[in-house]
Amino acid sequence: MASSSSRRLQKKSGNENGLGGMKPQGIMELMQKVPPNPVTGKVEMSDVMRYLEQHPDEMTNIAEAVDKIHKSRPPVDLKTYDYKALGKTIVHETFWVLQLEPFGYVDHSGKEVDTNTVQGTSGVRPTFIFYCYDDKGAYRITHQCVGLPNADTVLEVIQKAIATPEIPLKPKLPWFFLLSIKLAGHAESLRPFLDSLPKPFHWRVETKEEAQGVHDGVDGLNHKGKITAMTRAEKAKNEGNKSFSKKDREAALKSYKQALDLVEDVLCQKPTEAEEKAAKKLQAICFANRAAAYMIPGEGCDASKALEDGKAAEAADPSYNKSYIRQASAYQSLGDLDGAKDAIARALKRKDLENDNGLVDRFIELLTNGKGFPDEESLFRDFMQDTIRDKKSAIRMRGVEGLYKERVISHFKTLLP
């Protein structure tokens, strides 16, 4: 939808001379700067928003322009609209496709529900999204609904695609209109309206073969796109590492963000279990690396953001050891020693991390204020008893076994006569 994102921001009315103070050509040039999504090969709305976040001045100009357009648009009554007058807009062999896709879940209040918690949440309803696109890839309309749509909703979506499409598209009719096979059950209810539209407009329901062909084609493109995106993400991560080694915080943050954006694109495209696992692992590494970049000493050092990224790394891949180390460093910098200890203890309670040397070293460092275990037996005994007497410490230590316990026993043996 490389062209759709740019067209949305042009003027929909008949006035071609300007767009809220910006000429349409200027907006087209602006939107053409947005690189296509590496996974889908199109400029997705997430790519547009990402670009505008990085260029706030341009975002302000576009927002003001679009706002003026919306305020200047006359209201449209879809029931009395003169659709037949659009016969002159039909261009031979142009086509539109109306599709319907699942779009997640919401609870009884309309709040989005995580797909992983759907089964344990009461009152959950599925949501769906309509999207009507044309032969040039422009999206004339997107519309979200809760629950499966009825015929009236489908009709309204079609009428809006015709009469009130997304900015900057204008009211018009296609030569051919294809209705998703998922909406075939509403075909007879839609027939009176669709058959009333002026010729040479014609329409039909998508066949099973066409639907499968689209599915296979999209899957194939997405698979190649995901490989490309992961390769680019790995490269961006490596560039970030180079900048980090030079203590160039700004460059490192930029590269890590680029890598994270690419990984997010992969995760948004229904990856396989193996693809998701690989993407989550890389995501955790990039979050942890960015946390380290935030902690580079000097102007711009931000322990709070480092802590956020450390937590994000843990959420992406709980088995990644450095996510806990980054959190501990951030907590320590923020003056929260208990938070630092808790982060490492949480890692050491995991079976896959309980024997991690780096984590155990960091834990001992935090517990002993960097001094290491006491070299005298009496002092060591006092140290161990203190970790048990203190309620907060006792709770923290509960479940910490593995290599830490081995280190304690080994050190104690060296102190025995």
Return the pLDDT at 29: 52
Instruction: Spell out the SS3 assignment of the chain.
Output: CHHHHHHHCCCCCCCCCCECCECHHHHHHHHCCCCCCCCCCCCCHHHHHHHHHHCHHHHHHHHHHHHHHHHHCCCCCCCCCCHHHHHHHCCCCCEEEEEEEEEEEECCCCCEECHHHHHHCCCCEEEEEEEEEECCCCEEEEEEEECCCCHHHHHHHHHHHHHCCCCCCCCCCCCEEEECHHHHHHHHHHHHHHHHCCCCCEEEECCHHHHHHHHHHHHHHHHHHHHHHHHHHHHHHHHHHHHHHCCCHHHHHHHHHHHHHHHHHHHCCCCCHHHHHHHHHHHHHHHHHHHHHHCCCCCCCCHHHHHHHHHHHHHHCCCCHHHHHHHHHHHHHCCCHHHHHHHHHHHHCCCCCCCCHHHHHHHHHHHCCCCCCCCCHHHHHHHHHHHHHCHHHHHHHCCCCHHHHHHHHHHHHHHCC
Please, what is the end-to-end C-alpha distance for the chain in angstroms?
A: 76
Contact 372, 380 (CB under 8 A): no
Q: Which has the closest alpha carbon to 306: 286, 324, 316, 291?
A: 291
Contact 321, 353 (CB under 8 A): yes
Q: With 0-12 CB in 10 A as exposed, 13-18 as middle and 19+ as buried, what is 88?
A: exposed
The string over 252-267, giving b where at least 16 C-beta atoms fall within 10 Å of a residue's C-beta and e elsewhere, is bbbbbbbbbbbbbbbb
Return the pLDDT at 144: 87
The structure's pTM equals: 0.59
In this structure, what is the dihedral angle of CA atoms 300, 305, 307, 309, given to the nearest 10 degrees? Answer: -120
Fold of 207-335: 1.25.40
Contact 364, 351 (CB under 8 A): no
CA 325 – CA 291 distance, rounded (Å)? 10
Return the pLDDT at 209: 76
What is the sign, positive or negative, of the torsion defined by CA atoms of 8, 12, 16, 17?
negative
User: Any idea which residue has 């796109």 for tokens?
Assistant: 225
Bridge partners (DSSP) listed for residue 125: 106
CA 14 – CA 89 distance, rounded (Å)? 13
Return the pLDDT at 104: 82
Return the pLDDT at 32: 63
Q: Cis peptide before 271, with omega less than 30 degrees from 0?
A: no
Residue 402 vs residues 108, 225, 348, 353, 364: alpha-carbon distances, Å: 46, 42, 8, 9, 14
Q: Which has the closest alpha carbon to 291: 307, 274, 273?
A: 307
Mean pLDDT in order along the chain per 10 residues (417 residues): 34 35 46 65 64 70 68 84 95 92 83 72 84 84 89 95 86 94 93 96 86 53 72 94 95 95 83 89 96 95 96 95 97 96 96 96 95 93 90 92 95 88
Return the pLDDT at 264: 87
CA 267 – CA 278 distance, rounded (Å)? 10
User: Any idea which residue has 């696109």 for tokens?
Assistant: 133
Joined together, the tokens standing for residue 256 give 């890590």
